[in-house]
Amino acid sequence: MRVLHVVHGYPPSTGGAQWLTKNLSEQLVSRYHDEVTVFTTVAYNMEHFWRSDEPAMPAGAEEINGVTVRRFAVFNHLNVLRMLIAGVAYRLHLPCNDWLRTIYNGPLIFGMTRTVASSGADVVFATAFPLLHMHYALAGARRAGIPIVFLGAIHTADTWGYDRKMIYRAIQQADAYIALTTFECDYLIKRGIRADKISVIGPGVDVSTFVKADGTVIRRRYGWGNAPVVALVAKQTARKRFDVLLEAMRRVWAVHPNARLLIAGVRTPYSRQIERMIGALPPEQQAHVTEVGDFPEEEKPALLAACDLFVLPSGYESFGIAFLEAWACGKPVIGARTGAIPSVIDEGQDGLLVAYQDADDLARAILELLADPQRRAQMGEVGRRKVLENHTWEIVADRVRAVYVEAISRRARLKNEQTSFLPGR
């Protein structure tokens, strides 16, 4: 099978869509011997879509682990003008505001639609909305009559990003859609998408690296000893709600003054705000916060293995791959009772849910788990079984490829039906 994957970034660019596309592509090459090509951008991060001073990789093609990766240059000038026009159109509810917001988001890539159409692929897969490359992929696939599968990773709480009619019109035109959760599936059905077009397939993790992870070295490095450790391992952005966790930890430290907090993840401009919040804590609490930025990806399993429980207070997750990674390490998790997260965490079985942006409720849940090591271990084991049964990359790739095969077959059947009705046949 000749497969074309279209995504806004590809490693060494980091992010959930990038990691999913990389692992899916390499699984199809290594296990099915499919011919996989990835169309992506030169960007290391999405800021390059709007800012020409952000670093970028060279445009062109290369082979990575058997996958052909073609990186396209991005037009990232006139940013202020694009932002002003999109913002005004959104506030005034102008009819064109969907397109203007999408053009502002980018990536603006000249020639991608034409290149998708001439790719010779048997199937096109594109991820994720609300970015512009999704529409290039759709236009190119339709021009060439190639079936297209979307994985949109819809963040329902983000109205600026996802309250766009053009997204749901595009999904209606696709041959198939992969939803990450039952929550996303139900949301799309309410938006008018046919249920038979949607397959629910969660993301995967490299289970082997997490299951065998040992946190001893990390605990020794940071001098934690046997102290309980609460961890939030995620990109350092405002949406992950580091502020809520830090406020909750004030209450936790009142009961467990020896508890440690690990904040680890890719640093961003928001990292300076995190530093200020940590600096506002009493000195004895500051001493119990460990901040690790821009760590090597291969160190993540050990960081998670070193903690006692994992917390992600975000309300903007389409799934929350970090939950899977924590479970693979045998750790219980705490998430917010909002959006897709309640369809990911089985409350009371593999983790706890708390009210979104409620530091008191988060502190209560943390204290509840810190007080019961046996329950933590049981929850972590249930989570690990969930990952092993549903979220290995082998399982995910098998399920996604089945969607590709069905999309190709469905398109062929439709073509045959149309041909059979031609005059003279």
Same domain, 249 and 340: yes
Lowest-confidence segment of 17-26, 94-103, 117-126, 316-325 by average pLDDT: 94-103
Mean pLDDT, the chain, whole residue set: 93
Same domain, 138 and 222: no
Same domain, 309 and 379: yes
Confidence grade of residue 54 (pLDDT, cut at 50, 70, 90): confident
E strand or H helix at 35, and its extent? strand 35-41
Three-state DSSP state, 199: strand
Asked if residue 425 belongs to a domain, the reply is no
pLDDT of 173 = 98
Arithmetic mean of pLDDT, 344-373:
98
Same domain, 11 and 109: yes
Question: Are 366 and 309 spatial neighbours (Cβ–Cβ below 8 Å)?
Answer: yes
pLDDT digits (tens, 9 = 90+) for 102-156: 887 889 999 999 999 999 999 999 999 999 999 999 999 999 999 999 999 999 8
Q: Which residues neighbour 148 within 8 Å (Cβ) at sequence distance 6 or greater?
A: 123, 124, 125, 126, 137, 138, 141, 142, 174, 175, 407
Asked if residue 7 belongs to a domain, the reply is yes
pLDDT of 86 = 67
Asked whether the predicted pLDDT for residue 205 surpasses 60, the reply is yes
- CATH code for position 248: 3.40.50.2000
Same domain, 292 and 378: yes
Which ranges of 2-154 does DSSP label H, i.e. alpha helix?
A: 16-32, 79-91, 97-105, 112-117, 133-144
Arithmetic mean of pLDDT, 49-78:
92
Same domain, 262 and 226: yes
Two tokens, residue 181 = 């959760």
Confidence grade of residue 422 (pLDDT, cut at 50, 70, 90): low
pLDDT of 331 = 98
Asked whether the predicted pLDDT for residue 40 surpasses 70, the reply is yes
pLDDT of 419 = 66
pLDDT of 322 = 95
CB atoms within 10 A of CB 339: 26
Confidence grade of residue 423 (pLDDT, cut at 50, 70, 90): low
Strand partners, 396: none
Asked whether the predicted pLDDT for residue 92 surpasses 70, the reply is no
Asked if residue 351 belongs to a domain, the reply is yes
Same domain, 157 and 228: no
Domain with 383, as residue range(s), is: 207-390
Distance from the first to the final alpha carbon of the chain: 31
Pairing mode of beta strands 60-64, 67-72: antiparallel
DSSP single-letter state for residue 13: S
Tally of domains in the chain: 2
Question: Are 259 and 228 spatial neighbours (Cβ–Cβ below 8 Å)?
Answer: yes
pLDDT of 420 = 60
Same domain, 312 and 403: no
pLDDT of 404 = 99
Task: State the burial class of residue 389 (Cβ atoms within 10 Å of its Cβ: 0-12, 13-18, 19+).
Answer: exposed
Same domain, 114 and 249: no
Same domain, 108 and 120: yes
Same domain, 177 and 222: no
pLDDT of 104 = 78
Confidence grade of residue 97 (pLDDT, cut at 50, 70, 90): confident
Same domain, 162 and 215: no
Asked if residue 348 belongs to a domain, the reply is yes
What's the CA gap between 130 and 99, in Å, rounded?
10
